[in-house]
Every structure is written in C-alpha cells, then in structure tokens.
Amino acid sequence: MTRALAGGGGAVEVPLPTRRATRELGRALARVLRPGDLVVMSGALGAGKTFLTRATCRALGVPARVPITSPTFTLVQEHAGALAIAHADLYRLSGPAELRHLGLREARDSRLVIVEWGEPYVEALGGDAVLVRLEAHPRRATVSATGRGAEATVTALAALGLGVEPSR
Ligand SMILES: Nc1ncnc2c1ncn2[C@@H]1O[C@H](COP(=O)(O)OP(=O)(O)OP(=O)(O)O)[C@@H](O)[C@H]1O
Ligand SMILES: [Mg+2]
C-alpha cells in the first residue's frame, strides 16, 4: 500500500517500478490538469519524459493512432483530446529568442502545455509550473510546483493517493 502524502515543500514522490505505474501516473495527471497549465518534464535521456507525456495524452483521449513522440525536430506538436495539448521538447532549443517563436506561452491561453527539457524556461513560459522530475535508477517521479495554481494541482494529485512521502 502506498499513501498519498504531500511532502514538506508540497512535493509528491511516486515510485514507477513498471510502465504500468507510469501510465497510472499519467491517468492521475490527466484528472487534475486543466487548460493553461504548464507541466515541465525533466530528467536524463530515457528517464521517461515522453512515455509519461504519452500516457497523460492517452488518458486525456488522444487516440492511440496519433503518435506521441519526443518532438525534437518539430519542437512542438499539438494534440486534441478532452482538452487541447501542446507538447514540446526544448532539448535542442538555441535559447530564449527561439522560444518566443514557438508560441508556447501564448498556447497557455487555451491549452495544456507539456514541455520536456523545459526547466530553464519556466519563467519565460509564464511561470506557475508543475515540475515532474523523472529518475530511472530507481524509476520514480517527484512532482512539485513553482506557483500557487500548480501547488493546487499537486495537492489534487496527492489526494488521488499514488504518492509516497519523499525519502531523505
Ligand atoms: N517504469 C517506466 N516508466 C517509463 N518508461 C519506462 C519504464 N520502464 C521502462 N521504460 C522505458 O524507458 C524508456 C523511456 O523513454 P522516453 O522516450 O520516455 O524517455 P525521455 O525521458 O523522453 O528521453 P529523451 O530525453 O531522449 O526525450 C521507454 O523506452 C520506456 O519503454
Ligand atoms: Mg523524450
């Protein structure tokens, strides 16, 4: 049994021993995310940023026939599910100037924005982000917030009961 616990700083830690566990986290995120939210997925290559993004998009109703991949070369892919989603991978971004051309901040007017490798750009993207830090050894996610709206989202996520208390 795992217990839902928001840690001291409001972070939620979720063990992800199996792909199924990661899909479950995607379903939980899908229940609490809303248009205008910014989710930043961080972690090393292969940590599962795209896998969790795909799981979240599927749970939001993006059909299985629509590929959800790391949009490294197009940088941004748009998807339609229960809500409109913009998915970006900023690994190859040259800097903040290029970011402005992507229109991701504007996308938050109407869309859920999910960004891989987006940590340096949280403020440029309007701040108030849900940060999902993924680790592969062992596999787990630590979900935290950088603003009030995101804090409410993380609290709602914790209430769904898949987190455990962050280890020290
Ligand atoms: N518990 C798990 N959760 C998520 N992915 C897992 C898990 N176990 C194994 N995997 C595998 O790990 C890989 C994660 O790859 P993914 O493309 O999601 O990583 P990424 O963080 O997006 O990498 P990149 O930085 O290259 O974009 C997938 O091949 C997936 O099948
Ligand atoms: Mg990826």
pLDDT in tens, 78-121: 999 999 999 999 998 988 889 999 999 999 999 999 999 999 99
Which ligand 1 atom is nearest residue 21's CA? Answer: 1
Please provide the average confidence, as pLDDT, over all residues in the chain: 91
Q: What pLDDT does 2 receive? A: 41
The answer to whether residues 146 and 129 touch, using CB atoms and an 8 Å cutoff, is yes
Least confident span in 75-84, 108-117, 135-144, 154-163: 154-163
Mutation test of ligand 1: which of 50, 90, 140 has the most ligand atoms closer than 8 Å to its C-beta? 50
Distance 135 CA to ligand 1 centre (A): 10
**Section 16-43 average pLDDT:** 97
Measured CA to CA in angstroms, residue 152 lies from 59, 100, 146 at distances of 20, 27, 11
Task: Give me the residue spans of the domains in the chain.
Answer: 12-159
Residue type, 5: L
Rg (Cα) of the chain, in Å, rounded?
Answer: 15
How many degrees, rounded to 5, is the angle at CA 42 between CA 67 and CA 54?
20
Distance 115 CA to ligand 2 centre (A): 9
Return all residues near 163 (Cβ < 8 A) that are at least 6 apart. 2, 3, 4, 5, 6, 12, 13, 14, 143, 157
Q: What does the alpha-carbon distance between residue 65 and residue 71 come to, in Å, rounded to a whole number?
A: 16
Using a 6 Å CB cutoff, which residues line ligand 1? 16, 18-19, 21-22, 43, 45-51, 70, 116, 139
Distance 85 CA to ligand 2 centre (A): 16
pLDDT of 24 over the 60 cut: yes
**Section 129-158 average pLDDT:** 97
Distance 77 CA to ligand 1 centre (A): 18
CATH topology of domain 12-159: Rossmann fold (3.40.50)
Cis ω for the linkage preceding 15 (within 30 of 0)? no
| 3-state helix, strand and coil shares in percent for the chain, rounded to the nearest 5 | 30, 25, 45
How far is C-alpha 143 from the chain's CA centre? 9
User: What percent of the chain is predicted at pLDDT more than 70?
Assistant: 90
